[in-house]
Amino acid sequence: MQRTYLAFQRNAHLHTLQTAVTAVRSYASLEDSNKALFKGLVEQKGDGDAQTAEEERHHVVVTEQTIFHPQGGGQPSDVGSIENSSSGVRFDVSAVRMSAASEGEVLHFGRFLPGNDKTSGSTPVFQPGETVTQAIDAEKRLLFSRYHTAGHVLGAAVRHLLEKEVAGFDELKASHFPATAACEFAGAIEGKWKEAIQQRVDEYVAKDMPVEIGWWDEADFAARGLERLIPDRKAMGMTADEKFRVVDIVGAEVYPCGGTHVDSTKLCGQTNVRKISRSKGNSRVGYVLP
């Protein structure tokens, strides 16, 4: 299978997109590695036949392009629908993941809505080659984008304040899920820094810094003295001529990132720093948006 073109990475303002279906598979027919991606989203019926029937009711749809952000990079997946307006067939998308079996393939997981075929009693599905329209939940996309950008703002604030104050400091990873949003750092960050971090975050948000998307290669990172940020090309399954997607919070920090973002720091809204916790030499700084 060819890679799915990630249209949202080029234009995160797209809320609808026409594209072609390349594959439709029932959950029951998926490889075990892909079934595991959606663990917990298919009800467990207990009985063998009943469980098989439940799994057959769930499908994954693969398309040539997608505006759905797959869960990853600390960001939840988009949800929404895929529909053929001519036939009336609609697929409700409840989760999106990158395939674990086919590199670069995006799996849209959900259920087809029951049709009006009373003769066969079957639920209509898409056919490969069919043109469909994707539509994301724009309200959730905006929320996830605000959280993702706010996480980078927090990371930049902590780095600029504490990079030379905390032994062994480095940015590690982050969760931008609304219920568990936090950034993790190497080094012990004491609770006394919370107020200063909040002030710096407030400053960055108030400055309305532009958030720009760019595409860099290793030379672009090196030219800016940011060799520490160069991702592992092989680990990401990237070819030698592909460029890395970067998010530049102009005046603060640059992050290699495949997620969606708002256009400026001010659009994050009030970003409240929560508890700072420490464990095994690392620190976790939580945050929440109203």
Residue range 63-71: mean pLDDT, rounded: 98
Give 119's pLDDT tier (boundaries 50, 70, 90): very low
For residue 46, pLDDT beyond 90: no
Give 114's pLDDT tier (boundaries 50, 70, 90): confident
For residue 215, pLDDT beyond 50: yes
For residue 121, pLDDT beyond 70: no
The answer to whether 5-136 and 141-288 have equal CATH topology is no
For residue 237, pLDDT beyond 90: no
Residue range 172-194: mean pLDDT, rounded: 97
The pLDDT of residue 133 is 98
Which residue carries 């890395």 as its tokens?
244
Fold of 5-136: Elongation Factor Tu (Ef-tu); domain 3 (2.40.30)
β-bridge mates for residue 126, sequence order: none
Greater confidence (275 vs 1) lies with 275
Greater confidence (52 vs 29) lies with 29
Specify whether domain 141-288 bears CATH 3.30.565.10: no
The pLDDT of residue 117 is 46
For residue 151, pLDDT beyond 90: yes
Residue range 13-38: mean pLDDT, rounded: 96
The pLDDT of residue 235 is 84
Please give the share of the chain, as a percent, with pLDDT higher than 90: 87
Residue spans per domain, the chain = 5-136, 141-288
Give 120's pLDDT tier (boundaries 50, 70, 90): very low
Residue range 221-235: mean pLDDT, rounded: 94
Give 43's pLDDT tier (boundaries 50, 70, 90): confident
Of 126, 178, 148, 141, nearest to 15 by C-alpha is 141
pLDDT tens-digit map of 81-91 = 999 999 999 99
The pLDDT of residue 118 is 42
For residue 244, pLDDT beyond 80: yes
190 vs 199: CA distance, rounded Å: 16
Average pLDDT of the chain is 93
For residue 65, pLDDT beyond 50: yes
Residues 6+ apart with CB under 8 A from 187: 162, 166, 167, 168, 169, 170, 281, 282, 283
CB-based contacts of 98-101 (< 8 A; 24+ apart in sequence): 98/70, 98/72, 99/1, 99/34, 99/37, 100/31, 100/33, 100/34, 100/36, 100/37, 101/31, 101/33, 101/34
In 45-120, beta strands by DSSP E:
59-63, 65-66, 80-83, 90-98, 106-112
Q: Which two tokens mark 267?
A: 């659009």
